[in-house]
Amino acid sequence: MEQSAELLMICTLSREIRDGERVGVGTLSPLCAAAAWLAQARHAPRAEVLVLGSPDWPFYDGSKEFFDWAQRGRLDVFFLSGGQIDRRGNINLTAVGSYAAPRVRFPGAAGSAVLYYVARRTILFKTEHSPRGLVEQVDFVTAPGLTPGGFRRRGGPSVLVTPRAVFDWDGENGQWTVRSLSPGEDWESVQADTGFRLEARGPVGTTPAPTPEEIHCLRTVVKPRLAEVYPEFTRRLLGE
């Protein structure tokens, strides 16, 4: 993914975080870690940001203690992605094709099925916007976007951010709707690379580009913290 697209995703994800929220960032999530620290530095100073692998990660028993904490209702926001994400908000982190003889085997759930239920809001992201990753229906439901009646669920999907678009969750109809398109994109170009039919509930805007202030904050305040967890990513995106 191009540097400009990564910066756009970081800033877009950051703007979704609200002041005072407790935000969890799991493994292999440099974009989300950068976004959470950017939000804390700029518009959400009272946010509590917990990044797995960082020196200030407050839990000592790997991730088990974090899961216990989250299931007690302490987690406001978590970030999730998947090999496939579908129109109904389902995530596939398991396999493409037959489960018994898959064409592609993903690394596994990594607790996503639990955290998708217990976080008050789940922000989904996909670094590649293509029909193979954004599908009408996932091949395997690792974590469901919708829950049948009678089952307790504290939260659920909130927003989906890709390099090319931002989707809001329409809870009434149980599907994604387009909020905005990235600069330079149009409806036809994004629809051509999306595996489900795009829907909108109102005017579709343009996703705001990163501001000079956001970029400066990333390169000064966020960079040292990000480099402690993701040194190679930080060097590539923000330089030495």
Mean pLDDT by 10 residues, the chain (240 residues): 92 98 95 98 98 92 87 97 97 94 90 94 98 97 89 91 98 96 97 98 96 97 98 94
Question: Can you give the pTM of this predicted structure?
Answer: 0.96
Q: Distances in Å between the alpha carbon of 100 and those of 36, 53, 105, 133, 140?
A: 38, 33, 10, 20, 11
Instruction: Please report, as a single letter, which amino acid is at residue 207.
Output: T
Q: What pLDDT was estimated at residue 152?
A: 82
Between CA 30 and CA 157 the distance in angstroms is 20
Q: Both tokens of residue 237? A: 């995106």
List, for residues 40-77, the tens digit of each pLDDT value: 999 999 999 999 999 999 998 767 899 999 999 999 99
What is the CATH architecture assignment of 3-238? 3-Layer(aba) Sandwich (3.40)
Between CA 38 and CA 35 the distance in angstroms is 5
Q: Both tokens of residue 25? A: 């960032």
List, for residues 182-199, the tens digit of each pLDDT value: 999 999 999 999 999 999
Q: What pLDDT was estimated at residue 62?
A: 67
Between CA 143 and CA 228 the distance in angstroms is 30
Residue-range domain boundaries for the chain: 3-238
